[in-house]
Amino acid sequence: MRWTAVVIPFSIIGVIAYWNFNSRAHFRDGLPLRFDKTIHNFGEVSWGAPVEVTFRFFNASQQEVVIENITSSCACTVANLSSLRFRPGEFGVLTVRFLPTGFVGHVIQMLQIYLKGFRNPINLCLQADVNPLLMPSPSKIDFGRIEPWRQKSIMLLLKNTSGRKVRITRLETSREYVKACVVREGDEPAIRVALVHPPAGKVYERLYIYTSLPERPFIDVPIRAEITCKWQLSDTEFFFGFANKGEQLIRRLIIKGLYLSSIKRAWSDCQLATVSFIPHQAGVEVSVKLDLRKAEGGEEIKGDVYIETTDSKQPFLRLPIIGFVQNPDREVCCGKDKKVGEDEP
């Protein structure tokens, strides 16, 4: 009897400890939340038309589970939870909203659910085949290398899969030397895009297409090109960086092989800039002087230097002016503009 009285209590304690250990091991090494599915395919969806899916799950462990964070691979995917804490055996609902904008074709989005006390997340996968309704072809315009004396244009088509008539309401470009016009209306509108006297060097610009289709009213098409130059340039732009209001700055570059006798005129469309040029042993030295005494702080310095020549193969040369005017007497603090030394209220 004494032996039994000693063994039975220890046996009970051992069983409880073993069960508790197994429960904790399962809770620690496995995933305590059990989902009805971890992959969902929306099938074909239309551009700009949001879709939703509901994931159901329950806490399969013997302890309370806390969801600390949910991350997604894109801001177009938003998750909403019924709760953040779940008792043992409690059910929960996760609603995920996907906005198919900016995608074409088959899309995969991932959700990561992080639980308190667990290093690895629970992964959920969303799939969809996005119908763009209007698809620019080509999706990116690449002129490649262009000799400056040759004009080059590319035809862009809008493939219409919406089943409705679409009209181009407006065309805009990021710079004036990018020219675009509609050459054909109808089910698949056509747009001619050309570069007219672009600056030397690499060009990265945009074409903005506005349409009558409510789901796809705006299309952004990137444009790339590399403009060659007959002459060797010491730089392809006049870069001033962050300049202080009230300063007067000068930037210079050398155009090797171009001489004063070949220059008709040189000017700039930047009101803050003055252009001058002098002979150089290798060609011409071009200077841009910026007078920022009348400039406003926070203003972007935008403009180009234009050089017109007598050379039939390079009659025109454009060089960008790039910079930003900052006010040395003011600074940004906590999202507010204030004078240096000014105390917070």
* Tokens at 220, concatenated: 């952004």
* 335: in domain: no
Final residue of a structural domain among 227, 255, 277: 227
**Do 73 and 157 belong to one domain?**
no
Low-confidence ranges of the chain (pLDDT < 70): 1-29, 329-345
**Do 191 and 273 belong to one domain?**
no
pLDDT score of 165: 87
pLDDT score of 25: 34
CATH classification at residue 253:
2.60.40.10
**Do 148 and 122 belong to one domain?**
no
Q: Are 185 and 142 a contacting pair, CB within 8 Å? A: no
* 8: in domain: no
* 259: in domain: yes
Final residue of a structural domain among 79, 105, 131: 131
This prediction's pTM: 0.66
**Do 140 and 126 belong to one domain?**
no
Query: Distance (Å, rounded) from C-alpha 85 to C-alpha 301?
Result: 53
Calculate the alpha carbon distances from 49 to 79, 158, 257, 258 in Å: 17, 20, 57, 56
Nearest to 124 by CA among 72, 82, 81: 72
Cβ count near 71 (within 10 Å): 12
**Do 220 and 140 belong to one domain?**
yes
Q: Is 333 helix (H, G, I), strand (E, B) or coil?
A: strand
**Do 219 and 310 belong to one domain?**
no
Q: Is 159 helix (H, G, I), strand (E, B) or coil?
A: strand
* 340: in domain: no
Sheet holding 33-35, edge to edge: 33-35, 51-59, 91-98, 77-81
**Do 179 and 121 belong to one domain?**
no
* 6: in domain: no
pLDDT score of 327: 79
pLDDT digits (tens, 9 = 90+) for 148-157: 777 889 999 9
**Do 191 and 244 belong to one domain?**
no
**Do 276 and 326 belong to one domain?**
yes
Q: Are 282 and 294 a contacting pair, CB within 8 Å? A: no
**Do 118 and 142 belong to one domain?**
no
* 161: in domain: yes
* 15: in domain: no
Final residue of a structural domain among 227, 255, 290: 227
**Do 297 and 315 belong to one domain?**
yes
**Do 124 and 74 belong to one domain?**
yes
Tally of structural domains, the chain? 3
Instruction: Quote the domain boundaries for residue 89.
Output: 31-131
* 155: in domain: yes
